[in-house]
Structure 1
Amino acid sequence: MEARRLAILCSHLRPINSGHSRAPPSHLSSSNCASVAKSEQVIYDPHKGSLQDGCVFCRIILGEEPAFKLYEDDSCLCILDTRPLSNGHSLIIPKSHYSSLEATPPSVIAAMCSKVPLISNAIMKSTGSDSFNLLVNNGVAAGQVIFHLETIRLTFT
């Protein structure tokens, strides 16, 4: 059943321009991002290597860390969460490293938010749900390690 849901989910998303298709890894590793000064930003440059040492999202963007990609463009990447709260739990992460919502330019936030309808509709359609939560943890007390958006399908038992 999970494989079918994942196949349906992926069929509703724009293909990723990676040049090859890859099956999801059997085990996706996870770690926390390194702490970064609030004003620090590292722009992605494929010729310079790492975005931010120790940041799992930067490592995913560089292809150094496994992730199941749902969507990708020049500004952001959407992946399935490695520790999902429900089927289809996904993360929308910027392709540049920002330490918080306040440090992220409005244009980047807008680009990320513009992907929410695409991702959430695909997740709801593939899981048979009609509701989801959009979550932004901002700040250490809120549980945020590095800025990203989460879409979480609601489940009622």
Structure 2
Amino acid sequence: MVCVFCEIVKGERPAFLVLDEPDAVAFLDTRPLFKGHTLLVPREHHETLPDLPAGQVGPLFGHARRLAAAMESALGAAGSFVALNNRISQSVPHLHVHVVPRNPKDGLRGFFWPRHKYDSDAEAAAYAERLRAGLG
């Protein structure tokens, strides 16, 4: 299967590179939310965050941190939105972190999906317990 992001990492597909490090590459999104919207990917192909080896998580998010700062210092953005999807809404099945410049009244309204409240504190506590158990 051909991975578009692996092709970019290997230099086989053109992209507007923003960051080129031994462990990661960042490039402009071809369909940006706002100009400067950057995708950060590990050089090695990993589909999701749980697939990324533990030792690579810190360095990857170190790059995300630098990109978030650059949104403000280099682009003059008031802040940034940093996010990733795992499988659902992941248009390319290669782990990628979105770093998007943000400004007041830029048109984005929080998250892009409806919110669902817990029916009760007991239900919330039960979900928290299930997640704690899942963490092992």
Taking structure 1 as the reference length, what is the TM-score of the superposition?
A: 0.61
Q: Comparing both structures, which one devotes a greater share of its residues to helix?
A: 2
Q: 2:30 aligns with which of 82, 100, 104?
A: 82
For 2:35 and 2:29, locate their aligned partners in 1 and report how far apart those are by CA, in whole Å.
9
- The aligned counterpart of 1:72 is 20
Name stretches of at least 5 consecutive residues in structure 2 with no aligned partner: 107-136
Count how many residue pairs are aligned between Structure 1 and Structure 2: 103
Residue 95 of structure 1 is aligned with which of 43, 50, 54? Answer: 43
1:139 aligns with 2:87: yes
Aligned to 1:118: 66
Say which is worse superposed, 92-101 or 147-156, in terms of deviation.
147-156
Shift, 1:130, TM fit: 1.7
* C-alpha contact 2:71 2:79 (8 A) present in aligned 1: no
Partner of 1:39: none
Unaligned runs of 5+ in 1: 1-52
2: CA distance, partners of 1:90 / 1:153: 9
Q: What residue identity is the alignment partner of 2:83?
A: L
* Distance (Å, rounded) in 1 between the aligned partners of 2:38 and 2:58: 18
Establish whether residue 57 from structure 1 lines up as the match of residue 35 from structure 2: no
Q: Displacement of 1:148 after TM fit?
A: 1.1
Aligned equivalent of 1:17: none
Structure index of larger Rg? 2
Instruction: Tell me the distance in 2 between the aligned counterparts of 1:116 and 1:147.
Output: 13
Counterpart residue number, 1:108:
56
Comparing 124-133 with 72-81, which one deviates more in the overlay? 124-133
Deviation at 1:59, TM superposition (A): 0.3
Segments of 4+ in structure 1 off by > 6 A? none
